[in-house]
Chain A
Amino acid sequence: MTETGTEKVKRGLAQMLKGGVIMDVTNAEQAVIAEEAGAVAVMALERVPADIRAAGGVARMADPKKIEEIMDAVTIPVMAKVRIGHFAEAQILEAMGVDFIDESEVLTPADERNHIDKTKFKVPFVCGARSLGEALRRIGEGAAMIRTKGEAGSGNVVEAVRHMREVMGHIRKLQNMSEDELMTEAKEMGAPYDLVKETAKLGRLPVVNFAAGGIATPADASLMMQLGADGIFVGSGIFKSENPAARAKAIVMATTHYDDPKVLIEASKGIGEAMKGLDIRSLKPEELLQTRGV
């Protein structure tokens, strides 16, 4: 019997992206640059997070015309973002044939209480998380892939590091717990018990876990991979830099050879200036994107 949209098929696409770089693009020309540089997928957007942050107002799903233009330009998978809880936007993207949906805190949440029931879709979803509890809640809702939230559009890796360390450290703690401690732990984390047990047994998340939110340099990519990321999302970091094509290639190189400092020297040389970036402490609490949809 042939089945589509199974958990294996949805999680499987995320597994195919491992060790790769997913790049934010806002038009066909940028998508081609990303594919040329060796991106494993592109995220189709109307504006990169740094510009969303600057523009203010309500950020929504991109214009389908824009997304189609990008889908037509490349052969690699195309992802697109929907607002947290906005299942109608997700239905539109699924009907368009988008390969992966990011239920993203970068857009203005449509539902402050609930996320999308992602099990209802044949298309896989990726969701952001700052902690293990958050990650397992999203997986419980059907997410096929997790990424750190970091702080999108900041060009500052500090939040992505915080979130990756939080998730990986917590998994290590679970591994040291006895089975009878896991129920209380699940209660305190606010995460489904069966997923807590599975994570403790596997010693990793049951789905692929990428780093996102503030990655701007080849060294940032290497850092996140060494902290346990399965791959890298680069949002504003590429097309807000001085030489996007060179930087995109360099980050791909650094993600493959994250554990080889000699290659990282090559990757980091002469690629122009990185995006300027923000000190997270200069942001007001209401300006933080990571606190949306937990």
Chain B
Amino acid sequence: MLIGVLALQGDVSEHFNILRNLLAAEEVTLVKTKERISELDGLIIPGGESTTVGKLMVKYGIDKKIKSSENLAIFGTCTGAILLAKKILGMKQFTLNLMDFEVERNAYGRQRESFEADLAIPVLDGKPFRGIFIRAPVIKNVGKKVKVLARYKNDPVLIEEDRFLAATFHPELTDDIRIHKYFIKIVRKYL
């Protein structure tokens, strides 16, 4: 099994370090080019600036490669979740259109309104998960096949659809590895 972290821009090393704690060295890698996408069983699209990462993906043809990889499991956090969405409300910004939901960018406001809060996530055992929301998007209009794994004040914040997992917060900024473990299980299922 090989899981890559897309290393175009963003908090790449935070995801990489968590994966390295959970997996063997040869199971984790950083990816910047389209050629390497086909080697992967799983891909994490990290937090970053969605406009920047989207543009670089298109520029290097990584978007097409991701879309044509039929068994590739993908986990997107914040920017990654935005890029997995069907479309961005009120904006003509690029997305991969891989999951059945729409997204509103910076929906909580500006950085001043960024926050952390405890989330109840029933699929993870035990205590609540500390969600760190930074200029976070809000998930809207989820399709029938989308499983909502957690909500914050009624809005979905962690969702799953087949081989895709999207979080509007940043598990990689905490020491809590449970969501990464959950993603690894999804990757294994589609091997």
Chain A interface residues (CB < 8 Å from chain B): 1-6, 8-9, 12-13, 15-20, 35, 38-41, 75-77, 94, 97-100, 122-124, 252-253, 256-257, 260
Q: A9 — which chain B residues lie within 8 A by C-beta?
A: 114-116, 132-134
List 10 additional A-B contacts (Cβ < 8 Å) besides A8-B132, A38-B55, A98-B110: A2-B116, A4-B115, A9-B134, A12-B134, A15-B11, A20-B9, A35-B51, A76-B49, A97-B111, A124-B111
* A123 and B112 in contact, given A16-B11, A18-B9, A75-B91 (Cβ under 8 angstroms): yes
Q: Are A122 and B112 in contact (CB under 8 A)?
A: yes
Q: Are B11 and A256 in contact (CB under 8 A)?
A: no
CA distance A16 to B10 in the complex (A): 5
Q: Are A19 and B51 in contact (CB under 8 A)?
A: no
List the 4 closest A-B pairs by CB distance, nearest first. Answer: A99-B111, A19-B9, A40-B49, A2-B117
Q: Are A40 and B9 in contact (CB under 8 A)?
A: yes
With both chains docked as a complex, state the minimum distance between the C-beta of B15 and any C-beta of chain A, in angstroms.
Answer: 11
Q: Are A5 and B48 in contact (CB under 8 A)?
A: no
Q: Kindly count the residue-residue contacts between A and B in the assembled complex, taking CB atoms under 8 Å apart.
A: 114
Q: Are B132 and A4 in contact (CB under 8 A)?
A: no
Number of residues on chain B facing chain A (CB within 8 A): 40
Q: B148 — which chain A residues lie within 8 A by C-beta?
A: none
Q: B111 — which chain A residues lie within 8 A by C-beta?
A: 13, 77, 97, 99-100, 123-124
Q: Are B114 and A12 in contact (CB under 8 A)?
A: yes
* A19 and B109 in contact, given A8-B173, A12-B170 (Cβ under 8 angstroms): no
Q: B170 — which chain A residues lie within 8 A by C-beta?
A: 12
Q: Are A97 and B110 in contact (CB under 8 A)?
A: yes
* A40 and B14 in contact, given A16-B47, A257-B32 (Cβ under 8 angstroms): no
With both chains docked as a complex, state the minimum distance between the C-beta of B113 and any C-beta of chain A, in angstroms.
Answer: 6
